[in-house]
């Protein structure tokens, strides 16, 4: 009896479907979760136009002003409301499917990049790309992006970002002029989709330039500049318009999300970013040491921890440059990490120095690089022990992917409600100011906060005493006040 022979197209579709399923399974517990008080209200539930049948027109237009004018992301929220209303599992299902598509995108990207590395056979390219995509699919550093409904912009923009880079690599590899124009136009279309989903995708032109220089065909500097210029101009126009909308929104409400870096900025910013980048690198490489909503503080002086971070970042940079010179495709994967992360390196002081969701895209380079390493290691072990390479790679992948997926599932389950999530965060990091404020707000949810200025209401003390969990909320607010002595925190309970 003859075996069933699959065409390349069928094999690709089956592999992609299986990869998407693997990406969804660790996070499927989010279908039991609900909306959180942290941003889910302001981004989703409190936007009336998302519920209206004609609200799609406002989704596609940034006026009236709103906090995050991400047009394409808002269209997906509008579609969710039209299909199933305020049903949290429906929103979560969309995020799961988008994460599955991103895992397929990582696989497609890996195949294109690694096929340009002559040290890998065609089978080795397929194995390394699939291994990297599997690591990306189950990596617990992606829990915030997948499990938090307000973070749909991460997974949605990831689909367009990865598709755009794949189209760019096809453009670089095409020899037919018609195909080159088609791939080039698709790159622009996908970039527009990414910008409409998340502002942090402005790193896209940096990745395109790196790909052209490191793994693209030989061509003149003029050709490279002219090819990248439209994307650079589009990015500049987008940044100018987006920041203008945010400034107008802040002016209209009288407050701003922006802060000031501690002085001297020339010293504080490099030291802080070194510590932040080191943390990102460790969390990407060691998936079991993973948390959610971790926080970082400004580093203003040299300390043993900062010195270690500077050494790690310097060695990583030197290693990337050396590898980029010797083995261009691997150097590109390492360069992808800081390039995709560049918009989140605290050039603009938003007050959030570190967030796991910021590395959803930059982790692509790390996972594919690890996939290459595992494939080469499996090949060496198979040669030494006389085993099959596929079996050796499967054992190595299982040793990493199974614990990582279990960790991801555990963390994703915490997004069930505010109390569960912020209690877990405080257990991992007792001085996390984000968790203190949100958990205190959850305990004091039945109390209307006092005005930020002027006298307190006459019955304020009585109202505080009537809240069942007021004592618990007050203890948390006092801990928050010790960490961040702002006027707003001080007035919560008459302090």
The series of mean pLDDT values per 10 residues for the chain, 495 residues long, is: 66 90 94 88 88 88 79 94 93 96 97 93 92 95 94 96 97 92 96 94 95 93 94 94 82 68 77 86 79 81 88 86 86 92 76 83 94 91 77 88 92 90 89 84 69 59 64 79 68 52
| Contact of 100 with 23, CB cutoff 8 Å | yes
Report the chain's C-alpha Rg in angstroms. 24
Assign 60 to helix, strand or coil.
coil
Q: How many CB atoms lie within 10 A of CB 358?
A: 23
Query: How many Å apart are CA 286 and CA 166, to the nearest integer?
Result: 27
**pLDDT of 1:** 40
Give residue 42's pLDDT.
84
Q: Extract the tokens encoding 283.
A: 């969390």
Closest among 436, 433, 448 to 473, alpha carbons compared: 436
CB–CB of 428/291 below 8 Å?
A: yes
The SS3 call for residue 46 is coil
Find all residues with CB under 8 Å of 394, minimum gap 6, and list them. Answer: none
CA–CA distance, 397 with 134 (Å, rounded to integer) = 8
Most distant CA pair in the chain: distance in Å? 88
Q: How far apart are CA 165 and CA 207, in angstroms?
A: 8
Backbone angles phi, psi at 377, to 5 degrees: -65, -40
Quickly list DSSP for 166-192: HHHHHHHH--SHHHHHHHHHHHHHHHH
Q: What pTM does this model have?
A: 0.92
List of residues 6+ apart from 170 with CB closer than 8 A: 112, 179, 183
The predicted pLDDT at position 354 comes to 79
The Cα 381–Cα 400 span in angstroms is 16
Cα 386 to Cα 421: distance, rounded to the nearest angstrom:
48
What is the C-alpha separation between 302 and 268, in angstroms, rounded?
10
């Amino acid at each position: 009896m003859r075996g069933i022979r699959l065409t390349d197209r069928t094999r690709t579709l089956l592999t992609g479907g299986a990869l998407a399923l693997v990406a969804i399974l660790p996070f499927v517990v989010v279908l039991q979760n609900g909306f959180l008080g942290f941003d889910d209200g302001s981004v989703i539930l409190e936007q009336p136009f998302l519920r209206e049948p004609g609200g799609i027109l406002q989704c596609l237009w940034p006026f009236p002003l709103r906090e995050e004018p991400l047009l394409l992301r808002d269209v997906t929220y509008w579609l969710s409301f039209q299909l199933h209303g305020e049903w949290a599992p429906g929103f979560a299902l969309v995020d799961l499917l988008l994460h599955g598509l991103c895992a397929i995108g990582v696989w497609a990207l890996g195949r294109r990049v690694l096929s340009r590395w002559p040290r890998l056979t065609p089978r080795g390219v397929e194995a390394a790309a699939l291994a990297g995509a599997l690591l990306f699919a189950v990596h617990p550093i992606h829990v915030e992006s997948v499990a938090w409904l307000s973070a749909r912009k991460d997974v949605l923009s990831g689909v367009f970002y990865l598709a755009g880079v794949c189209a760019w690599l096809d453009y670089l590899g095409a020899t037919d002029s018609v195909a080159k124009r088609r791939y080039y136009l698709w790159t622009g279309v996908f970039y527009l989709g990414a910008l409409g989903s998340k502002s942090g995708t402005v790193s896209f032109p940096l990745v395109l330039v790196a790909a052209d220089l490191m793994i693209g065909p030989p061509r003149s500097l003029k050709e490279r500049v002219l090819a990248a210029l439209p994307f650079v101009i589009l990015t500049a126009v987008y940044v100018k318009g987006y920041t203008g909308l945010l400034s107008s929104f802040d002016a209209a409400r009288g407050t701003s999300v922006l802060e000031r870096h501690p002085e001297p900025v020339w010293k504080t910013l490099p030291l802080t970013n070194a510590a932040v980048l080191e943390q990102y690198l460790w969390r990407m490489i060691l998936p079991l040491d993973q948390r959610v909503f971790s926080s970082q503080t400004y580093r203003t002086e040299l300390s043993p921890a900062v010195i270690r971070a500077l050494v790690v970042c310097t060695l990583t940079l030197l290693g990337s440059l050396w590898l980029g010179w010797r083995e261009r495709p691997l150097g590109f994967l390492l360069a992808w990490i800081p390039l995709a992360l560049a918009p989140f390196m605290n050039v603009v002081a938003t007050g959030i120095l570190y967030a796991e969701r910021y590395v959803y895209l930059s982790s692509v380079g790390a996972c594919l690089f690890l996939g290459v390493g595992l494939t080469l290691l499996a090949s060496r072990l198979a040669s030494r022990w006389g085993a099959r390479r596929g079996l050796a790679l499967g054992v190595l992948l299982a040793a990493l992917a199974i614990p990582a997926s279990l960790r991801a599932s555990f963390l994703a389950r915490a997004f069930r409600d505010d109390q569960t999530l912020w209690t877990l965060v405080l257990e991992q990091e007792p001085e996390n100011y984000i968790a203190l404020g949100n958990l205190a707000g959850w305990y004091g949810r039945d109390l209307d906060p006092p005005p930020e200025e002027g006298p307190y209401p006459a019955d304020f003390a009585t109202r505080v005493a009537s809240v069942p969990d007021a004592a618990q909320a007050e203890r948390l607010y006092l801990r928050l006040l010790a960490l961040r002595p702002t006027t707003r925190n001080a007035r919560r309970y008459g302090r």
